[in-house]
Amino acid sequence: MPRYTSEHIIQECGDILLGPLSRSRHWGRIVERIRARTGVTLTTKEAKALHVEAMSVFNSIGTLDSSASIENTTSTQVGTDTSIKVIRDDEEISVSSKGIRTIADLMNAARLDPGDWTVESVTPNYWESVRADGGINPHFQIRARFKRFPEWAEAITAPQPLPQVRRDSPKRKALFIPDTQHGFRRMESGEMEPMHDVRACALAVEVVREWQPDIIYLLGDHLDLAPWSKYSKPASVMQTTNATLRSVHDWIAEIRRAARHADIYYCEGNHESRIYRSIVDRLGEAENLRTATGERAVLSIPNLLDLDSLDVKYIEPYGKEHVLWDKIGVSHGTKHGNKVGALLSKRLPGSTYSWVQGHDHKLALGTRAIHEKGKIRHITGMCPGTLSRVDGAVPGVSLYPNWSQGLGFAVIAGSDAHMWVSPILNGTICVSGRVLTANGRDTASTEPSHT
């Protein structure tokens, strides 16, 4: 086994002795690395001693004596005598010394093992006195407080294994389909231009077929009913109500065929209530008008859309919440925000239960934690965006609306309801690791996701 002087080992392995391992007191690793580099096998005490020696290896006096820029500095100076004072406690030691200049020398003089003690604070001091011959006597003083290094800090602990992850299928699944604002504008050619996004509507049907939810919520405003609005309307939207009603009925029928056993709820929105408000304002006698044997008002939305034939339950009046799983309030919503996230800022801070709403036409999802009785309860708010056109085609909005398309999802896992949204981007949505893309007006294709 080769033998080296301490100076040689410090020169060869100074980076190891003064590196991160020494600061974390991993002396065993330092010994291993020195052996790998030099072939010398040290004890941990020898490694500690070399560490202290390496801290003091810089020769400040010699550097100043050989300086080409600094003249008459240390050559005529005489150092002060060294004295040391140590005050010991069980876990702390205070050391002060005159003449010692470095922490390494101070620890050496106080016989402090660097593996057992760490520096808490250091106060250096320097002053000068004039000798009888006119020379200068330098005086050095250093004070330091050391704290015992905890034994657990030196222990190398094995990494804790991650817990196993169990895979279960959710107990129940719910899908939330936001505003489509079905409607048409009659072009000069006579062609009916849809104001709803037919590709997004086709994707909603395909997601139902792919994901097979137990419960489906139509969040309202699926009828735009521009001809029934109290606001000014162009002639191009007049006489389009029958086409709109048929389009929405056929679309919901596609959803029903895709999930024959799902419970489907249709929440009334402010656009669906346009017919009722028009009747009340202009033809009050027609309110709740029924056929001789009918149970529904002739001009009610459930009757006009023939929802009974599709086994769809209509939630009215506008603004009423339906409770899902005794955990989530679902409605069309009566609030919205001008900016993304503004709806959450309005509703979520004061919410005491989770909720889903349409109406806002912006994708938004947020969760707040409520701490009560030593437990944490999470409240989630969701708006899944819209399925209407977002290019300004819908009457009454700007040419560049700040809208986004998407769908909302929720599952029951254990006793918790997990909620999320998936955006629709340029006719594409990702569901359960599969990418669904609407190719044309009424069809969607499926391809596996590579993400």
Tens digit of each residue's pLDDT (9 = 90 or more) over 200-236: 999 999 999 999 999 999 999 999 999 998 887 888 9
Number of independent structural domains in the chain = 3
Residue range 60-83, pLDDT digits in tens: 444 445 555 545 443 333 344 577
Sheet holding 263-267, edge to edge: 312-315, 263-267, 215-218, 172-177, 405-413, 416-424
Q: What is the rounded distance in angstroms from the CA atom of residue 305 to the CA atom of residue 299? A: 10
- Domain contains 109: yes
pLDDT of res. 262? 97
Average pLDDT over residues 13-20: 86
- Domain contains 179: yes
- Domain contains 162: no
Mean pLDDT of the chain: 86
Residue range 337-373, pLDDT digits in tens: 888 889 999 999 999 999 999 999 999 999 999 998 8
Residues 31 and 119 in one domain: no
Q: Give me the domain span that covers residue 264.
A: 172-448
Higher pLDDT, 172 or 294: 172
Q: Is the pLDDT of residue 57 over 60?
A: no
Residue range 377-418, pLDDT digits in tens: 999 999 999 999 999 888 777 788 999 999 999 999 888 999
- Domain contains 158: no
Q: Is the pLDDT of residue 197 over 50?
A: yes
Residues 211 and 255 in one domain: yes
- Domain contains 177: yes
Q: Residue 100's domain is classified under what CATH number?
A: 3.30.110
- Domain contains 131: yes
pLDDT of res. 409? 98
Residues 215 and 329 in one domain: yes
Average pLDDT over residues 263-277: 95
Residues 421 and 277 in one domain: yes
Helix, strand or coil for residue 374? coil
Residues 393 and 252 in one domain: yes
CB of 320 closer than 8 Å to CB of 330: no
- Domain contains 125: yes
Residues 96 and 29 in one domain: no
Structure-token pair, residue 302:
């459930």
Coarse DSSP helix, strand, coil percentages of the chain, rounded to the nearest 5 percent: 25, 30, 45
Average pLDDT over residues 162-180: 93
pLDDT of res. 451? 37
pLDDT of res. 60? 46
- Domain contains 91: yes
CB of 329 closer than 8 Å to CB of 349: no
Average pLDDT over residues 241-259: 97
Q: What is the rounded distance in angstroms from the CA atom of residue 281 to the CA atom of residue 428? A: 42
